[in-house]
Chain A
């Protein structure tokens, strides 16, 4: 009798240990990713305030804001930089031949809830109405114009003065027509390049379910990317991995668990992590920290985390349109009501001090300061006038 009990107890203990073991194996794999995400979030947040630039600029803003990690300082500081930049340009068109400058800034501003149609009085969407201008630099133009426009379903401004008016259909057709024979996309080569292919897929993702031609092209391209994947689960550099990850998550495909993207037991996420260095990522293996690689790898991670947390994809910013997000429970009493307005007013007249988080949450109109206009906006919201 005694030996039987001992036997059962032993078996049960061993079994429970197995359960804990299997749980931690999977959890630690994911915890590794989250640790990296946190480390890079902290590092990026500690850099200088982003400017209008492909490095140290929009991609940092986009990554951090989509991760819900963007600081008040970055949001307002970056916006001021954009205002000055556009004012100095003296035009809504930010580059003589590259519409991608406009598209990139549009995506970043949208991610922080700013109005792209009025930046120092300029409408940044306007230049995208000129289809010849959008096409001028090649595939990147239409790809990024489409991605930018579809963040929150912007209407393309109509411009009767341009030779050819841009439409979404023209953008999609251009992208599909410039697909290479092998089913992928490239800048100027004849063979698919993973990063450009990834970007093209990102732009077409919103049309996957509704447009047959898009679906066919995207399915084929996904296949191409799977075939190009090397034994480490990735491609020749960090950025290519990042772009493919972002593309797949945009389609709702999990780049860590989808069979098509596991080679030799290595997933795309594993491959991305292989470029991990202190504080960020390197461009190629065994090299040091690289800012471009870090920014892209970071937002790729963000896109992956958004997928597993059931949030909208990186570039689907419809989640930001909910106004209720703007108003927070400042006094932490569990309800958003007039008492929060009063609390902000107390802060304004210095009767109470706020934590940085509270300051951030109180800037309802995102104009960079907490004042009576924020309180008024919140009051309007509470009486359903906003």
Chain B
């Protein structure tokens, strides 16, 4: 063995040297950034879309739709109508499934939003949870449950009805977490609006219905247009706001016992839908809508 080494000493040394130089070259290459392009990554082949149509990036736009649509007894309806129209225009842009805009409640963008009314993860979670809630579904909800059916421009021919209710009963079980200045405004049993039949026009969204009903009943409601969800976002109803009852509290909506994982402007109401607005104190888990948070 020793003899072998002695004989081929030169070759062995030069081999080690060669390897050392190659390693050095590799590291050196790592520092360079302008060598020949080699496709190391097989990225997405998806086509990009014109971002300008999506991005709400005008200060003007923001001003028009981002304000509160607070309703008090004395307030007029004009501003609300224009806001609802703006909403409809915007929703016509998106045709894609909830996943991206609405699914980032925990992502940084949404770090300043709760996961209320938003799905945090991708479609797969929606599909799985869909099975579990299928028992309670009624036939009027289509199978394409996970896809938002964007409301169209309103057509005023059909006389359609749906049922709407607003309830914040979960607060009663969590009074210790409620902001002290809100203690006096929680209604009995949590009913802000008991189930009520409402007529609507084809193409109106769950948000449109809520706005209408609150206006008619003089119930306070504040919302803001949220680009991140590409939808209106319900900040507060009856002066009960998101986070008023702990850091997992806020408003969610369900239709026929199913919680869509996208914003209420993106749900087109269908005949006989039962729309329920529920205040949760536990990210939806206490009202049967935990899955809609994307958990």
A residues neighboring B (CB under 8 Å): 15, 18-20, 22-32, 34-35, 43, 47-56, 59, 81, 84-85, 88, 95-98, 100-101, 104, 135-141, 143-144, 186-189, 193, 195-196, 199, 236-237, 239-240, 242-243, 270, 273-280, 282-293, 295-296
Contacts and interface: CB of A to CB of B under 8 A. Distances in A.
B172 interface: no
Contact of B109 (A20, A59, A98): A59
Given A19-B22, A27-B35, A195 B107 contact: yes
A55 B120 contact: no
Q: Would you list the 4 A-B pairs with minimal beta carbon distance, nearest first?
A: A23-B29, A138-B247, A100-B112, A276-B43
Interface of B: 18, 21-22, 25-44, 46-49, 51-52, 54-59, 62-63, 96, 99-101, 103-115, 120-123, 227-228, 235, 241-244, 247-248, 282-283, 293, 295
8 contacts: A27-B33, A47-B55, A48-B52, A97-B242, A187-B120, A287-B46, A288-B49, A296-B109
Given A28-B38, A54-B227, 14 more contacts: A51-B58, A51-B62, A55-B55, A56-B57, A100-B111, A138-B248, A144-B111, A186-B106, A193-B120, A239-B107, A243-B108, A287-B99, A288-B48, A292-B100
Contact of B59 (A81, A98, A104): A81
Nearest to A77: B59
A97 B51 contact: no
B240 to A, nearest CB: 12
A188 B121 contact: no
Nearest to A257: B30
A237 B242 CA distance: 27
Nearest to A55: B227
A55 B115 CA distance: 16
A25 B38 CA distance: 8
A105 B164 CA distance: 38
Nearest to A239: B107
A136 B44 contact: no
A46 B204 CA distance: 35
A237 B56 CA distance: 23
Nearest to A98: B112
B37 A32 contact: yes
Given A277-B46, A296-B107, A15 B18 contact: yes
Nearest to B283: A188
A271 to B, nearest CB: 10
B243 A277 contact: no
Given A289-B46, A292-B228, A26 B109 contact: no
A19 B106 contact: no
Contacts of A35: 37
Given A25-B26, A278-B48, A279-B51, A284 B37 contact: no
A48 B241 contact: no
B247 to A, nearest CB: 3
A140 B111 CA distance: 6
A195 B107 CA distance: 6
Contacts of B52: 47-48
